[in-house]
């Protein structure tokens, strides 16, 4: 009896020791990374604190004097996010059908479509923004193209995954009624994945709105352009005002997106 208890307790101790070692390894990795990037550089941080405080001090009170000039860039940003998402969804549907195992016409097409989606996803939208600004000039258009193209990578992948997880039974029934391949996709598969597609698209729109506030920084239109301008001439009171406006807009878009997504359940 006694020895049995001892065996159980020994095992318990060993489990605890193993857990401790694992925790120690993770903590070490985190510490090394933090030291490497200078997070523990006390002197430098201490030096920074006064200038941070003075910077924050310079931001107050927020200056809304030029607020009227921000209306148009804000609308630009909103339009960019909507148009960019629409662009992404338009190209995502056909790409997803090629990149889903159950609808792809050929395994090679499947691999190519997946590669395209991965490629688009791995180029950051800011980089795409810089490229498109160089290609078509300043303004909202390069921003829309950058947001749209980058979004295809994620939206298309999610669409493809939804298509792959579709219930095969009604699809078979559609086929049994004499429907051809495209009719089966249109009437057997798409009605099933529509709610997920709507969900992903609306979420992506919300993301694109946040992303498009940054797009202005590379000259691709929107409120980010104003933000960058104020930062350059060190109008920190105006910077804070713009940031507050963006915060309000993002909150509103988030709320609207949540309502829309619930509707599509």
Partner 1 sequence: MIRLNQVSVTYPGGFTALHPTDIEFRRGEFTVLLGASGAGKSTLLRCLNYLNVPSSGHVHVEGIGELKRRSALLAHRRRTGMIFQQHQLIGRLSALRNVLTGRLGYHGTWRSLVPLPPEDQRIALQALDRVGLMAKALERVDSLSGGQQQRVGIARAIAQRPQMVLADEPVASLDPHTSVQVLGLIRGVCAEDHIPAVVSLHQLDLARQFADRIVGIAAGRVVYDGAPAGLSDLHLEAIYRRDPTRSSEATAAPSTTTEFPLNLATEKS
List contacts with partner 1 (CB under 8 A): 168-170, 172-184, 186-188, 191-192, 194-195
Nearer to partner 1, 14 or 90 (CB): 90
Choose between 68 and 265: whose C-beta lies nearer to partner 1: 265
Residue 51 has which token pair? 């200038």
Within its chain, how far is the Cα of 147 from the centroid?
10
Least separation in angstroms between residue 172's CB and partner 1 is 6
Q: Tell which residue, 110, 94, 93, has the closest CA to residue 102.
A: 110
Minimum distance from residue 180 beta carbon to partner 1 (Å)? 6
Give min distance, CB of 195 to partner 1, in A. 7
Distance, in Å, from the CA atom of 238 to the CA atom of 234, rounded to the nearest integer, reads: 9
Q: How many angstroms separate the CA atoms of 72 and 225, rounded?
A: 11
Nearer to partner 1, 175 or 261 (CB): 175
By C-beta, is 194 or 244 nearer to partner 1? 194
Phi and psi, residue 207, nearest 5°: -60, -45
Minimum distance, C-beta of residue 179 to partner 1, in the bound complex (Å): 4
- The CB density around residue 118, as the number of other CB atoms within 10 Å, is 13
CB 99 → partner 1: shortest distance, Å?
17
Q: What is the DSSP letter of 66?
A: T
Token readout for 141 is 């258009």
Identity of the residue, 182 or 233, whose beta carbon is nearer to partner 1 in the bound complex: 182
- Given a contact cutoff of 8 angstroms between Cβ atoms, the answer to whether 187 and 171 are in contact is no
From CA 62, how far away is CA 234, in angstroms rounded?
A: 13
Residue placing its CB nearer to partner 1 in the complex, 121 or 187: 187
CB of 98 to partner 1, least distance (A): 15
Distance CA 232, CA 212 (A): 19
């Amino acid at each position: 009896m006694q020895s049995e208890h001892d065996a159980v307790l020994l095992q318990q101790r060993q489990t605890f020791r193993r857990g401790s070692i694992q925790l120690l390894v993770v903590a070490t990795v985190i510490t090394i990374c933090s030291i490497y990037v200078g997070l523990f550089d006390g002197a430098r941080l201490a030096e920074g604190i006064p200038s941070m405080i003075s910077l924050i001090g310079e931001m107050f009170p927020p200056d809304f004097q030029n607020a009227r000039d921000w209306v148009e860039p804000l609308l630009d940003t909103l339009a960019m996010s909507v148009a960019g998402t629409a662009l992404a969804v338009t190209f995502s549907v056909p790409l997803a059908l090629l990149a889903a195992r159950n609808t792809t016409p050929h395994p090679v097409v499947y691999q190519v479509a997946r590669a395209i989606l991965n490629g688009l996803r791995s180029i950051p939208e800011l980089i795409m923004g810089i490229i498109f600004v160089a290609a078509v000039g300043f303004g909202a258009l390069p921003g829309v193209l950058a947001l749209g193209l980058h979004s295809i990578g994620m939206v298309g992948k999610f669409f493809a995954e939804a298509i792959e997880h579709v219930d095969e039974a009604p699809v078979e029934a559609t086929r049994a009624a004499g429907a051809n391949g495209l009719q089966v996709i249109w009437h057997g598969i798409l009605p099933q994945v529509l709610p997920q597609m709507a969900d992903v698209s609306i979420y992506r729109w919300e993301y694109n709105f946040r992303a498009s506030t940054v797009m202005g920084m590379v000259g691709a239109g929107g409120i980010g352009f104003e933000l960058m301008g104020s930062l350059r001439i060190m109008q920190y009171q105006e910077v804070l005002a713009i940031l507050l406006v963006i915060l309000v807009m993002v909150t509103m878009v988030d709320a609207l997106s949540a309502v829309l997504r619930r509707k599509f359940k």
